[in-house]
Chains A and B, each alone.
Chain A
Amino acid sequence: KAGVTQTPRYLIKTRGQQVTLSCSPISGHRSVSWYQQTPGQGLQFLFEYFSETQRNKGNFPGRFSGRQFSNSRSEMNVSTLELGDSALYLCASIPGLAGYNEQFFGPGTRLTVL
């Protein structure tokens, strides 16, 4: 079974621009979560999608948004980029509906905002 795929792996943007990151979960998984990892704030939950619907959201401004497609692939978008948005963005693939299921992480997209 293929793992979680995230594209692109590296991205450089400038302040004020917007960016879209993509995540393809493990085949058969229907839920995707996104996390932001920074040296200062650590790992923080952004949002979760299941069956094309955002089910849960972390404490991030509205500049951070996402969506999920019918094939379970997910994208997250950050508009009006700020320097503090530089981070590793991790996508997690969740097998099923039970809340305790383990989350399988992708390799991440490293975003640098200049």
Chain B
Amino acid sequence: AQSVTQLDSQVPVFEEAPVELRCNYSSSVSVYLFWYVQYPNQGLQLLLKYLSGSTLVESINGFEAEFNKSQTSFHLRKPSVHISDTAEYFCAVLDTGRRALTFGSGTRLQVQP
């Protein structure tokens, strides 16, 4: 069975500081990994995904994540955060057989001025 562990439930950070949200996965098959963001009272928005190829994937709003097979990790990073990045972030792995996402418990990013 696949599983995802997000090691930090909350990450407070000051505006313009760098941030890393940690995600480790467990899977016995090919891995497809995702980061989603959820703003208050909204659904999930896809930030970025790893399907294959380059281990470093980037989003249009400055986030990036690196797939590390040996460490079974897919950490999310941003070099300089903004107040508007305050949200909850979910790491997920896709079960291709069931076409179902298994999510981590989420990390609440709190950007302070």
Q: Which A residues lie at the B interface, using CB under 8 A?
A: 4, 6, 31, 33, 35, 42-45, 48, 55-56, 58, 90, 92, 94, 99-100, 102-108
Contact = CB atoms under 8 A, between A and B. Distances in A.
B94 to A, nearest CB: 6
Task: Report the contact-size class of chain B (Cβ under 8 Å from the partner).
Answer: 20 to 34
A112 to B, nearest CB: 14
**What 4 A-B pairs come out closest when comparing CB atoms?**
A99-B96, A45-B100, A43-B103, A105-B44
Contacts, number: 58
- Interface of A, secondary structure class, is strand
11 contacts: A42-B105, A43-B106, A56-B99, A90-B43, A102-B34, A102-B49, A103-B101, A105-B43, A107-B41, A107-B42, A108-B43
Contacts of B56: none
A104 B45 CA distance: 7
Interface string B31-55: 0101010000111111001010000
B52 to A, nearest CB: 9
A33 B42 CA distance: 17
Contact of A102 (B46, B97, B100): B46
A45 B43 contact: no
